[in-house]
Each structure stands twice: as structure tokens, then as C-alpha cells.
Amino acid sequence: MCTSICYTSTDHYFGRNLDYEIDYGQKVIIVPRNYVFNYRDMPAQKSHYAFIGVSVVNDNYPLLCDAINEKGLGIAGLNFQGPGYYFPQIKGKKNIASFELIPYLLSNCESTAEVKEILADASISNVSFSSNYPAADLHWILSDKTGKSIVVESTKSGLHVYDNPVNVLTNNPEFPSQLTKLSDYVDVTPSNPKNTLVPNVDVNIYSRGLGTHHLPGGMDSSSRFVKAAFVLSHAPKGKDEVENVTNYFHILHSVEQAKGLDEVENNRYEYTMYTDCMNLDKGILYFTTYDNNRINAVDMYKENLDAEDLICYDLFKKQDINYIS
């Protein structure tokens, strides 16, 4: 499935691991201010904030996985199959199709506070983009320049917006249960553990790092949630952009899914297809992919953000090895 974080140093860095078994040909895209959005149940929007992110592009429409806008609001959609539920269009509500949620919020909001307002009378509708693209069950993490995050979940009991104090999201179960899970690992520590098991016995602490022994290392969403929360919470702050970006990728790579570990059907394995890192303050998107360890970067401000057409870059590239000799 996926893991998303918001890491704060001098700037704020938002993004995710996309874990899946099928490559949908995602691209890095920039949606400039005058690209027109025709919504299913809301008026068309001819101008809006520009944004940059990772997206499938179909019929010139951006089916976004994750993106940030020029105001520093970031959103990522993560698999939420099971608890996730979308509603038929409801009269009197702002009906946002699930695939419209990212572009709609990035087009119109500067912050998670504005998102909360705009979602107060909204419902996520079960309208598909097309019969080829049925609505995927998702929930969303949103972060902004305050360094704080929220989670949006649409379940049978309605649309929920939760504050997210750990700045991490993975997948199931529902977000409050994920938070509760942290309690089971609350004593994990970077420090050497104290002996409270058998206090009067001299226990041989045979390894460094034993304070982290109970940290889960699985591919499942709970394991990734707990581990990413720990790694993010203890990550150092870099002294410049490159060091921050470096730290960020180490956090997400610590919950990366290598190939072969998560069999979703016979001989088909989910793995971390890409990892991106978007600087909410500077509008730069950095990424690595499974097949290319080198960090690539796209700066949205290097493009004409007043354009009308989507701007696309290849995401999936060959391993770019530097042969020294």
C-alpha cells in the first residue's frame, strides 16, 4: 500500500511512498493556473492555484496520486480499501468525486484550516472518472506550511477530518485505530533500554539499538505506520535543502517495500514504485523510483505557471549509475 509523511526542518517536506504492483505510467506533472477543471457536480474552474505532483494523465486529465500547490498545501491519496466508502450525490452538499478531491482542494485552499472549512458541507461521491478508472478507495493526508497535518476519511458513518499529530499516514484500519496502535510501541527508544524485566540481574545488553527491538518491520500498514512515526519523530533537522531532502528520503526508505515481500496474488508482488518529496515552501518535487536510486528534481517555478496545458516529465527512469572507472 503506501506511506506518506510531512517532515519539518527549516522548510516543510511532504510526499509518500507509492506501494503497488501495477505501473499506471505515472508522470511528474505541473498543473498551471489556467488549466480548466470541469467538475462533475460543481461549476467549472478556469483559474486556480498552480500545483505540482505525481499523476496518471488520462484524456489530458490529471488523476493525481499526490501533489502540492503554490501556497504550500500538500495532499496525498492512499489506499483505504475496506473502511473506505463514497456516497451517492447528496442534495445540498458539495459533492466531490473522489478523483476530484486533490485538484479541487489544491485549486482552492491555502492551508489545512481552509480545507476543514471547505469540507464542512462536502461529501465524497462515488462517481468514477470513467468505466476504465473506477473510483479507488482512498483516504487522504494533507499538510501545509505550519508543518501540521490532517487526515480525511470517508466511511459509511460519513466524512471525517482528523488532526494528525504524527504527520504519518499509511492505510487501514481507520486513522483513530492507527493512532491507538502507537501505544503498543510507546516505549521504543533510540537509547539503550533500562533493565526493568529482572531488575536485580545483570542482563547483558548484547547489541546496540536494543531499545528499538520491538519496532515492527512488516509490510503491513500498522507496521509501516509505527515505524515511520518513530523514524520521522527522531529524524535530525538538516542545515540546508540538500541535507533535508537527504534526511527525508531516509525516513521513507526505512519503510520501503522491496520486491518479493508482499504477495498480493500468485507471484505478483507489491513494492515501492516511487518515493517523492515535495518542498511545500519552494515548490520543488524530488523523487526516486524503485529502478533508479538517484534523486531527480523538478522545480515548478522554472515553468510558466500561467499556462493552460499540463506539463509532464517522466517519472520512471533507468538506474542512473555513475561509473567512476
Which residue in the block uniquely carries the three cell numbers 537509547? 191
Q: Do 68 and 286 form a contact (C-beta atoms < 8 A)?
A: no
Q: Least CB distance from residue 21 to a copy of itself, whole Å?
A: 10
Q: Looking at the annotation, which residues are catalytic?
A: 2
Instruction: Please report, as residue ranges, which positions from 230 to 289 form the binding site for a copy of itself (by CB under 8 A).
Output: 230-231, 233-236, 242-243, 245-247, 249-251, 253-254, 256-264, 269-270, 286, 288
**Which window, 3-11, 38-46, 131-139, 211-219, contacts a copy of itself (CB under 8 A)?**
211-219
Cβ closest to a copy of itself, residue 112 vs residue 125: 112
Q: Do 275 and 17 form a contact (C-beta atoms < 8 A)?
A: yes
Q: Least CB distance from residue 28 to a copy of itself, whole Å?
A: 8
Partners of 269 in the beta sheet? Answer: 263
Cβ closest to a copy of itself, residue 135 vs residue 218: 218
**Which window, 10-18, 63-71, 130-138, 311-319, contacts a copy of itself (CB under 8 A)?**
311-319
* 318 binds a copy of itself per the rule CB under 8 A: yes
Which of 211, 282, 304, 307 binds a copy of itself (CB under 8 A)? It is: 211
**Which window, 36-44, 53-61, 134-142, 219-227, contacts a copy of itself (CB under 8 A)?**
219-227
Question: How far, CA to CA in Å, does 231 sit from each of 19, 158, 188, 227, 248?
Answer: 19, 32, 11, 6, 10
Distance of CA 308 to the CA centre of its chain: 26
DSSP 87: B
Instruction: Please report, as residue ranges, which positions from 14 to 43 form the binding site for a copy of itself (by CB under 8 A).
Output: 28
List CB contacts of 153: < 8 A, sequence separation 6 or more.
Answer: 80, 83, 84, 139, 140, 159, 160, 162, 174, 175
Which amino acid is it at 323? Y
**Which window, 98-106, 123-131, 143-151, 207-215, contacts a copy of itself (CB under 8 A)?**
207-215
Instruction: Please report, as residue ranges, which positions from 177 to 206 form the binding site for a copy of itself (by CB under 8 A).
Output: 177, 179-180, 182-206
* 162 binds a copy of itself per the rule CB under 8 A: no
* 158 binds a copy of itself per the rule CB under 8 A: no
Indicate the helix (H) or strand (E) that contains 52.
strand 51-58
Binding track over 115-154 against a copy of itself, x by CB under 8 A: ----------------------------------------
Which residue in the block uniquely carries the three cell numbers 515505524? 227
* 156 binds a copy of itself per the rule CB under 8 A: no
CA angle, residues 85, 124, 59, in degrees to nearest 5: 105
Cell digits of residue 245: 531532502
> In 3-state terms, what secondary structure has residue 90?
coil
